[in-house]
Chain A
Amino acid sequence: MWRDAEQALTLMWLLSWISHSMCHSSPGRPRITRCRSPEKETFTCWWEPGSTGGLPTSYQLYYRKESSLEVFECPDYHKAGNNSCYFDKRHTSIWIIYNITVVASNALGKAYSESVEVDVMDIVQPHPPENVNVTFMQTTNSPYFLVQWQPPHDADTRSGWVTIKYEVRLKIENSGNEEDSNWESYSAGKQLEFSIYSPQPGANYIVQVRCKLDQGLWSEWSPSAFIQIPDNMSDTQNAFMIIAVTLMVIIFLLTAGVLTVKMKPVKHFFLPPVPEPKISGLDTQLLKSGKAEDIFSALITPGYPQIAQRSDHQVEYLVVSDYDEEMDFNGKAHLEFQKGENCLTDTAQKVSQNSIQITLNSSQDVRTTLSEHVYSGAVSSQLSATSGVLGEPQELLPLDCNGLPVKAQDQNTQMSSGSKCEHVSINPAGLMGYVEVDEEKRDQTPLVGEDYSMVTDVISDKILVLQDSIPKQGHKEVKCDKTFKAEETGVVFEPLGYLETLTTFSSGS
């Protein structure tokens, strides 16, 4: 039993002795974590110790410069804190490689860290900018806030040794919203202040600044500066005013629109009706509803048409003829136009300022195009008359103001000497091509008043082109007068001496 107890004790003593001796060992390898130079004139290296081995361990830092084999020890272990080595200006050489090693030593041995090679040029990282403050500037229309700071105190820019560049970042402090939590960064160059325009009213901003020297590393971000943007009351008032005015305008427009549609007086106020062409003395209602005889009797009222004036006024003729075949009316339209006092009686009549272009396309489907061009000088126009019956296009009859082959007889008793309008009526009857008036066709539906459905084209302000759907006779009349009226064939409602004009045309050669 005593033997067992001795053995147990011995065992325990052995164990304790072993365990006690196992706590002590040579130190573990330290590790150099980083080296930094804040101003490119001095630098500091920090290391991280390995295991201590249970014994008090001391650390030494040794370095070697690039070109020599001489080994130096760290000049200052304390300035930069624990486990650090600070190289002051005297001991710092730039553009030279340092080979640095840290040794951990205790009673049982030494441990060497891995060597690190540094060139001070590569490890330049300044301290962050100092005294960052933000002020809100309330100008009238464009509020902004101004960020100001100071350079880190140890960077020497005055001698030009280093050039500092800054960067500002800000974000809105928003407790719940994730959208606004991103930083906005702005490069600020070398200046010591920065303006942020158009801040959000009522928002809380966080602002930070950092810097770097030449091509070195960026510093840490400075401590945050906070600013609260006030709610801008005048802005909201402006917004209300704008909304109110807009609503008023919309309401006004709506009421105006509704009233315009519903009530005629308002409608006439906003949209005055276009005056229709009216012939004095002519009752359109009567024309719509009445019979032919009533209509005619309504027309022939005392003083209307002014036939009696005919002898007092000049006679105007529209002469349309062909020089070569003047007596041959086959398939040619003859129009005679003469303007009395201004034109010579001969064929070389001079239509003072007018020329007429007349186109007859076919007798089956007569589409007569009449246009009158009022020129200030002598012009020539062309008359082209084609007859589909003949199967060949008519030759163009040049109409010239000076030598006028185009003749048409016309009487315009209302024309004054200076007037330039004339009547033209063309009636190619079958093969004859005469301009003829067929009085029996008058009772066809007139083209009067507001029925413009037959009009296919408007050439000038005096000419309408009508579509003739019953091409028995190609009546076409163009009246260019102040009271313009274009009529379909067969029906003559020409109040100004048209009746007389009609009778002057002969329907035979």
Chain B
Amino acid sequence: FGLSLPAVAVLLVALLCLDPHCRVGSAPICAHGPSGCHIPSLADLFDRVIQHSARMHSLSNDLHSEFEQYFLPSKNHIGKIYRKCHTSNILTPNGKDNAQKLAREELTEVILKLLMAWRDPLFQLHQSMAHQQDFNSFSSNKALEMGDMAHELRKGVEKVAEKMRVLGMLGNSVTGLSAAEAMLPLSDSGEAMSDYELLYCFRRDSNKVQNYLKILKCRIVPEHDC
């Protein structure tokens, strides 16, 4: 054909740069305001994430009680006190007053840290439950759903934080949002935690997330249900 490679490259670059209409951009779907489509308000977003967290906690409750019923017939709680969850390092408010004293940004950050820390352990939990024959398929499905839900919830809370930042409700002191790291579920002695321990810890942490979200919501958008 006769055109050399550099000439082709120059042509391509010229096309891309000179014709702006060739560039692919993204436009928001709801570009035309309220008449175009329904933009969820902050209150709607909060309601959604709170519902999500309630569902997640009830799933973890079910799984934990199933475990206790079938695998630990003696309701012997000795030994619990020495169990340490891998999220114990994250400082979380332990009561209503402490949670209310925390600033919005810090509370949001705590929620995101918790959710992020459970991303991999929940996946591990589902894997190990699916491989054991002791569990029926319902339990392992619940574990999978729980893991997905934690992932979705984290995305949802991030959206809520984004919206709050846009509306000016959040200061810029939130630096930890992107820096929340995934943690390995190791107990004190360095061994991997058992399924039961993981379930116990997640049940507790999901209850924390649910409570913190509700506190946050009623502080920021106290219209209904507060």
Contact = CB atoms under 8 A, between A and B. Distances in A.
B95 A89 contact: yes
Interface stretch (A90-98, A251-259, A291-299): A90-98
A156 interface: yes
Contacts of A40: 96
Contact of B57 (A156, A159, A161, A215): A215
Interface in A63-118: 64, 66-67, 89, 92-97, 99, 115, 117
B218 interface: yes
A41 interface: yes
A115 B218 contact: no
Contacts of B61: 215
B80 A159 contact: no
B117 interface: no
Interface in A172-193: 190
A158 B226 CA distance: 4
Interface in B62-87: 77-78, 80-81, 84
A159 B84 CA distance: 30
B94 A95 contact: yes
B207 A121 contact: yes
State the majority secondary structure of interface residues on B. Answer: helix
Given A215-B57, A215-B58, A119 B204 contact: yes
Interface string B184-226: 0000000000000000000010011011001101110000011
A121 B204 contact: yes
B96 A161 contact: yes
Interface residues of A, number: 27
Nearest to A119: B204
B94 A66 contact: no
A96 B54 CA distance: 20
A93 B77 contact: no
A67 B95 contact: no
Contact of A64 (B58, B81, B96, B218): B81
Given A67-B88, A160-B215, A161-B96, A97 B225 contact: no
Contacts of B80: 97, 117
Given A117-B81, A121-B207, A161 B88 contact: no
B134 interface: no
Contacts of A67: 84, 88
Contacts of A99: 81
B57 to A, nearest CB: 7
A159 B95 contact: no
A157 B77 contact: no
B78 A161 contact: no
A163 interface: yes
B110 to A, nearest CB: 12
Contacts of A115: 78
A40 B214 CA distance: 14
Contacts of A159: 96, 100, 215, 218-219, 226
B226 A97 contact: no
A93 B95 CA distance: 6
A94 B210 CA distance: 13
Interface string A125-161: 0000000000000000000000000000000111111
B97 interface: yes
Contact of B225 (A94, A95, A190): A190
A117 B76 CA distance: 9
Contact of B94 (A96, A117, A215): A96
B92 interface: yes
A41 B211 CA distance: 12
Given A66-B81, A160-B225, A95 B214 contact: no
A160 B226 contact: yes
A97 to B, nearest CB: 5
B160 to A, nearest CB: 15
A94 B94 contact: yes
B29 to A, nearest CB: 32
Nearest to B218: A160
Contacts of B218: 158-160
B15 to A, nearest CB: 56
Contacts of A93: 94-95
Contact of A163 (B95, B100, B214): B214
Nearest to B98: A93
B215 A161 contact: yes
A113 to B, nearest CB: 14
Interface in A269-294: none
A93 B96 CA distance: 9
A404 B15 CA distance: 86
A1 B179 CA distance: 100
B225 A163 contact: yes
Contacts of B204: 95, 119, 121
Contacts of B58: 215
Which of A94, A96, A121, A160 has the most chain B CB atoms closer than 10 A to its own CB?
A: A160
A94 B96 CA distance: 9
A157 B208 CA distance: 16
Contacts of B78: 115, 117
Contact of B208 (A66, A89, A95, A161): A95
A463 B208 CA distance: 93
A156 B100 CA distance: 13
Interface of A: 40-41, 64, 66-67, 89, 92-97, 99, 115, 117, 119, 121, 156-161, 163, 190, 214-215
In the A-B complex, list the 4 residue pairs whose CB atoms are closest, starting with the nearest.
A160-B218, A160-B214, A93-B94, A117-B77
Given A95-B94, A161-B99, A161-B211, 7 more contacts: A67-B84, A93-B95, A115-B78, A117-B81, A160-B217, A160-B218, A214-B54
14 contacts: A93-B95, A94-B94, A94-B95, A95-B94, A95-B208, A96-B94, A119-B204, A158-B226, A159-B215, A159-B219, A160-B214, A161-B211, A214-B54, A215-B58
